[in-house]
Structure 1
Amino acid sequence: MRPELGQVLHFSEDPTIERFEPHVAPTSRESEPYVWAVGHDRCPDYWFPRACPRAMAWTGPRTTEEDKTRIIGSGGGERVHAIEYAWLKAIMDVRLYAYRLPAAGFAPIGDPPHAMVAQVPVTPLGPPEPVGDLFELHEEAGIQMRVLADLWPFWNEVTASTLEFSGIRLRNARR
């Protein structure tokens, strides 16, 4: 599930959104109200239930072969996502939807950019689309999915490596 040319996507478990209003998310480090979306490259970050903690790593221009082999391993691909066993059922059962939004009016945020934001209300281009089987999406995209008892050892290894990485909802991970 990726955006088409001229689009960004917003993933949600709520299939009833008719218009996105800028707001300050309770978990955001940003103080400005935004409508949040993602472009093609960051869509896989959101192929999860909203509250699911996930640690993600992928190769980048400064990634060493040693780190790629050690962390991504021989499972194939250039990217790995990790979740905890406690979230396995939620990932299998969630009904996730993608809203296609017009890319015009959205700007990248972050350094490096990790999302797209708009400061005005945004109306979806059509009804939300069911995302479908999240494991199947990962497989089709060539992304390894790991299920771990505890995300923190993996996260610590990834953040100390030369891989690119992102952690979302890690406050929900086991302590």
Structure 2
Amino acid sequence: MRPEPGQVLHFSEDPTIERFVPHVAVTSVRSEPYVWAVGYERCPDYWFPRACPRAMAWVGPRTTKEDTARIIGAGCGERVHAIEYCWLKALMEVRLFAYRLPAAGFAPIGEPPHAVVSTTPVVPLGPPEPVGDLFELHEQAGIQLRVLDNLWPFWNEVTASSLEFSGIRLRNARR
């Protein structure tokens, strides 16, 4: 599930949104109200239940072969996502939807950019689309999906490596 040219996506478990209004997200460190969305490259970060903690790592221009082999694995592609066992059932059962939004009016946020935001209300281009089987999406995208007892040892290895990475909802991970 990726956007087409001229589009960005917003993923949600709520299939009833008719208009996105800028707001300050509960989890945001920013105080400005935004409508949040993602472009093509960052969509896989959201192929999860909303509250599911996930640690993600991928090969970047400065990634060493040693870190790739050690963390992602030899012959295992260039990207890995990890969740905890306690989220496996939710990952299998969640009904996730994608809203296609017009890319015009959105601007990149973060350094490096990890999302796009709008400061004005946005109306979806059509009804929300069911995202479907999240395991299948990972497989089709060539993304390794790991299920771990605890994310923190993996996260610590990733963040100390030369891989690029992102962690979402890590506050929900086991301590």
**Same fold, judged at TM 0.5 (above):** yes
Moved over 2 A (4+): none
Residue in structure 1 matched with residue 126 of structure 2 by the alignment = 126
Contact persistence 2:68–2:74 (CA under 8 A) = no
Equivalence map 1:76-91=2 (5 Å): 76-91=76-91
Unaligned runs of 5+ in 2: none
Code of the residue aligned with 1:47 in structure 2: it is W
Map of 2:68 onto structure 1: 68
Aligned residue number for residue 93 of structure 1: 93
- TM-score normalised to structure 2 length: 0.99
Q: Aligned pair 1:58/2:79, yes or no?
A: no
Give secondary structure in 1 for the equivalent of 2:45: helix
Give the partner amino acid of 1:166.
Answer: S
- Kept in 2: contact 1:62–1:162 (CA 8 A): yes
**1:38-66: CA deviations, max 9, x gaps?**
00000000000000000000000000000
Q: Please name the residue that 2:49 is paired with.
A: 49
Distance 1:130 1:98 in 2: 6
* Deviation per residue, 1:105-146 (Å, 9 max, x gap): 000000000000000000000000000000000000000000
Cα contact 1:75–1:144 (8 A) shared by 2: no
What is the TM-score normalised by the length of structure 1?
A: 0.99
Give the total of aligned pairs.
Answer: 175
